[in-house]
Amino acid sequence: MINRPRGTQDFINMELFDYVVHTMHLFLQRSGFRHIQTPIIESVDLFKRSLGLHTDVVGKEMFIIQSHGTDAEQVPLCLRPEMTASVVRAFIENGIDLLPWRVFSVGPVFRHERPQKGRYRQFHQATIELIGGKSIGYDAQLIHLLNYIFGTVLGLSCYELQLNFLGCLEDRALYKKRLQDFLQEHQQVICQTCVLRKDANTLRVFDCKSSTCQELYKKAPILTDNLCDPCALEWVFLQDYLHMLQVGFTKVPTLVRGLDYYNKTAFEFVSANLGAQSAFCGGGRYDSLIEQLSPKHSQPAVGAGIGIERVLLLLDVEKNKAYSSLQKPLIVCIPLKACYIPNILLVNQKLIACNVQVELLLDSSLKNGMKKAAKMMATHVVLLGQEEAEKNMVMLKDMVTGLQKHINLDVLIEQFSR
Ligand SMILES: [Zn+2]
Ligand SMILES: [Zn+2]
């Protein structure tokens, strides 16, 4: 027996997954975001240039593809660890000039990390990007849209929108200095990890799990108190826009997002129901990323990534009216003898054209077929034997009431066409 690779999973029923993806698809498309697809394999350099050499993702979590043969010109390839860089590459490579470019894409991403509970080496993301939009109003549009999809459409339970503003790169540099001074002052108190992060990755000290550190950081300088005038104004505008759109949020000054290319808006949708890894969607502005990959294509941009598996964990199927309204009657078709297979195939085909789901059981005895139909939670069973075949009828059994009746084939089709 050969098993699936560690850290991967089989989806043996994609119904809910498809529902979530289709729902997002529908509302993103209505909001002007076009569906695109980029390759799952990309050159390693794309992520080295976009994420930075010193990030965990590039340093140790990439699936590098071993290339074969003697093709010396071949550039090293990897399985994409995230999707934003691919979208930006596609933007540059395809010479997109009608701006803003609003797009979304859904698919698997890969991380070569030690598999642990709730973490997979292959998982699914939706990425939503708006390239070539400078107004902070675009940020509000995106956040509002995501909130609408999560709350109103999908009806996700117990989540919160966390929001922060990182300012421009200059603000961040100045703030970093201030934070370093603060950490220097309290060097005796902070943990060893934070001492190391103080110089290498200063803003990440806020991710520290130590309660002593967390207690101290409550008194640390706050980024949004250290913004230049234009950024301070944009931060006020963003909050005003969201208030006007009735999007509730919590300000979290320590929310900095892992990557250096983020600036200004940073947000996460989190849920306490997800445990320690509580974010199921994160995003923000990345005005410098495109320039980083191709200076002459420089454009401001804002985007978000959604973890599909995590959204699925938060979906309360019972309460989700939109999902239950998609549930269609399930009709199981069973011929009473093998010689009526052609007749039942015809009935089956006619039912498929109706607004129902159909299952066909050709190998089962009547008794067995009925048992299977019950297991499948069928709403109806259609039986067909000699009498029915002669009179262009079927026997329709209602699995909920247990009642059964002869019914003309055309009447049956008529009944389920509604
Ligand atoms: Zn600024
Ligand atoms: Zn610490």
pLDDT, tens only, 67-91: 776 666 678 999 999 999 999 999 9
In degrees and rounded to multiples of 5, residue 393 shows phi and psi of -130, 170
Q: Is the same domain home to 49 and 145? A: yes
| 279 Cα: distance to centroid of ligand 2 (angstroms) | 21
The continuous run of DSSP H or E covering 35 comes out as strand 34-35
pTM over 0.85: yes
pLDDT digits (tens, 9 = 90+) for 129-163: 999 999 999 999 999 999 999 999 998 978 999 99
Whether 282 and 396 map to the same domain: the answer is no
Percent of the chain with pLDDT over 70: 96
Using the 3D structure, point to which of 321, 341, 357 is the last residue of a domain.
321
CA of 48 to the centre of ligand 2 (A): 27
What pLDDT digit, counting tens, does each position of 162-190 carry?
A: 999 999 989 988 999 999 999 999 999 99
Task: Specify whether the CB–CB gap between 254 and 206 falls below 8 A.
Answer: yes
Ligand nearest to the CA of 228: 1
Q: Does residue 83 lie within any of the structural domains?
A: yes
Name which residue leads in pLDDT, 260 or 243.
Answer: 243
* Residue 272: inside a domain: yes
CATH assignment at residue 377: 3.40.50.800
Rg (the chain; Cα; Å) = 28
Question: Residue 124: beta bridge partners?
Answer: 108
Give pLDDT tens digits for 107-130: 999 999 877 776 799 999 999 999
Q: How confident is the model at residue 239 (pLDDT cuts 50, 70, 90)?
A: very high
Give yes or no: residues 19 and 111 share one domain. Answer: yes
* SS3 call for 132: coil
pLDDT classification of 324: cutoffs 50, 70, 90? confident
- For 237-324, where are the E strands, in sequence order? 250-251, 263-271, 279-285, 301-307
pLDDT at 56: 77
142 and 286 in a single domain? The answer is: yes
Q: Please count the other Cβ atoms lying within 10 Å of the Cβ belonging to residue 53.
A: 9
Per the structure, the complete domain to which residue 372 belongs is given by 328-417
Is the confidence at residue 106, as pLDDT, over 80? Answer: yes
- For the chain, percent of residues with pLDDT exceeding 90: 74
Q: Give 70 Cα–ligand 1 centroid separation in angstroms.
A: 50
Select from 321, 339, 362 the last residue of a domain: 321
Give the pLDDT band (50/70/90) at residue 55.
Answer: confident
pLDDT of residue 316: 77
Token look-up 């997109």 returns 96
pLDDT for position 71 = 63
Per-residue pLDDT at 257 exceeds 80:
no
Q: Ligand 2 centroid to 187 CA: how many Å? A: 10
* β partners of residue 284: 266, 303
- The pLDDT value given to residue 8: 93
pLDDT tens digits, 3-48: 999 999 999 999 899 999 999 999 999 999 999 999 999 999 999 9
Distances (CA, A) of 156 to 31, 311, 386: 20, 8, 51
Total domains, the chain: 2
Q: Are residues 383 and 279 in the same domain?
A: no
Select from 67, 182, 82 the least CA-distant residue to 122. Answer: 82
Query: Averaged over 226-246, what is the pLDDT?
Result: 97
Which residues are within 5 Å of ligand 2 (an ion), measured at CB?
191, 194, 208, 210, 213
Above 80 in pLDDT, residue 373?
Answer: yes
Gap between the Cα atoms of 63 and 235, Å rounded? 38
In a domain, 175, yes or no: no
Where helices occur in 73-131 by DSSP H, the ranges are 84-93
Average predicted confidence (pLDDT) for the chain: 92
Residues 121 and 158 in one domain: yes
* Residue where a domain terminates, one of 321, 349, 374: 321
Closest by CA to 359, choosing from 380, 389, 341, is 380
Residue 402: the pLDDT is 94
Predicted confidence (pLDDT) per residue in 285-322, tens digit = 999 999 999 999 999 999 999 999 999 999 877 667 67
Instruction: Report whether pLDDT(206) > 90.
Output: no
Residues 291 and 369 in one domain: no
Domain annotation covers residue 197: no
Average pLDDT over residues 252-280: 88
Q: What is the mean pLDDT of residues 251-268?
A: 87
Question: Closest-lying ligand to the alpha carbon of 212?
Answer: 2
Statement to judge: residues 71 and 104 lie in one domain = yes
How far, in Å, is the centroid of ligand 1 from the Cα of 284?
15
**Is the same domain home to 252 and 392?**
no
Query: Does residue 54 share a domain with residue 156?
Result: yes
